[in-house]
Copies of this chain bind each other. A is one copy, B any other.
């Protein structure tokens, strides 16, 4: 993947992370690893941490510091009510966009 996906991730990566957190609490390192497994081969570590800080400051997640057996303590994030609401708004916006795109793809060729 290249620059194309990088640009597309702007705005969607946030929703992706919130969607992950809606399933289960998680910490940054874990999320990064999971994303890489899913094929987002070149998502930068720093990006995830910065994103987590952002959504924390917006009050979309709760944070708990949990000691790790191997390494420094983990910051475990979990989606709160406000975050869940925001996630739904995200899905609405995403559906809107995806619908237009799908129509364009069909009509365009």
Contacts and interface: CB of A to CB of B under 8 A. Distances in A.
Contact of A105 (B19, B100, B107): B19
Interface in A1-56: 1, 4-12, 14-16, 19-20, 22-23, 38-40
Interface size class on chain A is: 35 or more
Interface of A: 1, 4-12, 14-16, 19-20, 22-23, 38-40, 89-91, 93-94, 96-98, 100-101, 104-105, 107-109
Contacts of A22: 108-109
Nearest to A86: B4
A105 to B, nearest CB: 6
A16 B22 CA distance: 30
B107 A23 contact: yes
Given A10-B11, A22-B109, A109-B22, A5 B97 contact: yes
A12 B104 contact: no
A109 B21 CA distance: 10
